[in-house]
């Protein structure tokens, strides 16, 4: 792809942000209760200024307590998973890695499964998923550090091993779980959903995403340098170990909080960065923002599709069904960039 100048990049980011805003506002229309776009805007505005009320209390609750957190979570989680995937793909220089490459999703899945088996409350399930997601990535990083001296290939292999280990533990939990109550809950959670998303979940995800994106944005030029090679980055005065730790820590924090709230949602962290790269180029400084915006749009549209159908299909199933053919097409188109 030809070099994208500063002006062209700003225009493209503005277009993506505008698309996200339009999709975000339009998404309030989808659901079992039909609420017009002007009414949605008035309800949201009423939280900040005096607006003549033309809506019922039920409509207010649906918009602010149900659809607002669910749609906002879709934006944040989609953006977080995509930005994490873009970060890993850039640092590892591998188009096949994604936001869960170091085992965060498998670890979180095990934590949530154990909590459900123990009859824990919803917030306890989320906490267990978050803690075990962090534990899984920490284990993978320690294995990589001990046996590979922070070699990225060894780190990826360590992530595969950790993911396989925790996936096996999840299978054990599912085997001993009650088939009438606990097992269906575990299975549905593992397939991903935003149906339970509320304002409390936003309080968990927003700080994680803001802090992590802030770190990645602050280190964006150093990550670009690392993408050219570790020796080249060191020659430019970049602390390679620090950059790796920042990328892993920030990506893990975003992914763990996302999985804790919405369950396992695959393919976004692998597919969307490729779409963003085709749109803005391979420079991480430009790729980070584009990936976040595109990931937000993608997951909101998937969630809209679910809310507009009678059957409550799992979120992770649809992202896989749509993401798989997209990834194949994009990989064929951009394969030369990775050769």
Per-residue pLDDT of the chain (339 residues; tens, 9 = 90+): 445 556 688 888 999 999 999 999 889 888 777 788 788 888 888 888 888 888 888 888 888 888 999 999 999 999 999 999 999 999 888 877 888 889 999 999 999 999 999 989 988 999 999 999 999 999 998 988 887 655 778 888 899 999 999 999 999 999 999 888 899 889 988 888 888 888 899 998 999 999 999 999 999 999 999 888 888 888 888 898 899 999 999 999 999 999 999 999 988 998 999 889 888 888 898 999 999 999 999 999 999 888 887 566 788 888 888 888 887 777 676 665 545
- Tally of structural domains, the chain: 1
Residue 71 lies in a domain: yes
**Tokens at residue 241, please?**
């170990």
Would you give the DSSP letter of residue 265? Answer: -
Residue 64 lies in a domain: yes
Q: Where are the alpha helices (DSSP H) in the chain?
A: 6-26, 37-45, 57-61, 68-92, 104-117, 122-148, 152-176, 182-190, 199-218, 220-227, 230-235, 240-262, 268-280, 284-307, 315-334
The pLDDT, as a whole number, for residue 209 is 96
The pLDDT, as a whole number, for residue 214 is 96
Residue 1 lies in a domain: no
Q: State the average pLDDT for the chain.
A: 87
The pLDDT, as a whole number, for residue 137 is 94
Give dist(CA 235, CA 117) in Å, integer: 52
CA dihedral 254, 259, 265, 270 (to 10 degrees): 30
Structural domain span for residue 182: 6-338
Residue 281 lies in a domain: yes
- pTM, 2 dp: 0.90
Give dist(CA 336, CA 339) in Å, integer: 5
- Coil, strand or helix: which one is 279? helix
Give dist(CA 77, CA 257) in Å, integer: 9
Helix (H) / strand (E) containing 3? none
The pLDDT, as a whole number, for residue 1 is 44
Residue 253 lies in a domain: yes
**Tokens at residue 77, please?**
């989680």
* CATH code of residue 246: 1.10.3470.10
Residue 42 lies in a domain: yes
Q: Measured over all CA atoms, what is the biggest interatomic distance in the chain, rounded to whole angstroms? A: 65
For the stretch 207-222, pLDDT in tens is 999 999 999 999 999 9
Measuring CA to CA, which residue among 286, 291, 287, 308 is closest to residue 71? Answer: 308
Give dist(CA 249, CA 142) in Å, integer: 13
């Amino acid at each position: 792809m030809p070099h994208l100048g500063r002006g062209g990049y700003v225009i493209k980011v503005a277009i993506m942000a505008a698309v996200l805003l339009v999709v975000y506002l339009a998404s309030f229309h989808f659901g079992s209760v039909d609420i017009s776009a002007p009414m949605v805007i008035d309800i949201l505005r009423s939280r900040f200024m005096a607006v003549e009320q033309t809506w019922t209390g039920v409509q207010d609750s649906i918009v602010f307590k149900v659809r607002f957190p669910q749609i906002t979570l879709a934006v944040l989680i989609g953006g977080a998973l995509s930005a994490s995937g873009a970060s890993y793909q850039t640092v590892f220089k591998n188009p096949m890695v994604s936001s869960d490459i170091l085992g965060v999703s498998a670890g979180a899945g095990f934590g949530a499964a154990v909590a459900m088996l123990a009859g824990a409350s919803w917030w306890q399930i989320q906490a267990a998923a978050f803690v075990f997601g962090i534990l899984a990535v920490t284990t993978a990083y320690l294995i990589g550090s001990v046996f590979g001296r922070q070699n990225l290939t060894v780190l990826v292999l360590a992530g595969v091993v950790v993911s396989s280990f925790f996936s096996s533990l999840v299978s054990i939990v599912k085997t001993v779980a009650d088939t009438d109550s606990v097992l269906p809950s575990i299975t549905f959670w593992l397939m991903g959903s935003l149906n339970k998303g509320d304002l409390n979940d936003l309080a968990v995800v927003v700080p994680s995403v803001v802090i992590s994106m802030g770190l990645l944005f602050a280190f964006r030029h150093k990550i670009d340098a690392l993408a050219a090679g570790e020796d080249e980055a060191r020659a430019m005065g970049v602390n390679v170990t620090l950059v790796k730790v920042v990328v892993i820590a920030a990506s893990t924090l975003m992914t763990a909080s996302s999985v804790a709230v919405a369950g396992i949602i695959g393919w976004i962290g692998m597919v969307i960065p490729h779409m963003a790269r085709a749109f803005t180029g391979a420079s991480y400084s430009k790729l980070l923002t584009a990936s976040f915006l595109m990931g937000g749009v993608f997951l909101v549209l998937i969630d809209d599709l679910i809310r507009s159908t009678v059957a409550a299909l799992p979120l992770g199933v649809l992202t896989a069904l749509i993401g798989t053919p997209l990834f194949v097409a994009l990989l064929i188109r951009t394969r030369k960039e990775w050769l």
